[in-house]
Structure 1
């Protein structure tokens, strides 16, 4: 029972962490991607979710690379393993 309680606490902790600029920027991009491609997360298929997640990851990593002055070539391309 104690293990379950600790696991719940770990899962719930993310909702009580202070917001960070990086987290805010990631979710701003995520919501823009969902709007752009008309993806409703609650009813999205697994393929639609994977697509939204991957496009968001690449876009966010491009943003971070540009901010840090790194080449965009340092970002793993979309849908590469």
Structure 2
């Protein structure tokens, strides 16, 4: 039973949905603001960093949920 990146992404959305979406959205907004040469790109970058730390803290639960998902997807669970 191997986990694939999709298992981990879905598990992250199940375990920490707000943090995961906030981190991704703020990272995209920061990249857009940096591309427009705005001085405000550091604010969403800092928010993305804080949300990333919260996702990192929930990593054991995310891995456990991903393993459960991979085991449920396996045809012959042992």
Q: TM-score, length-normalised on structure 2?
A: 0.37
What is the TM-score of this pair, normalised by structure 1?
A: 0.36
Larger helix fraction of residues: 2
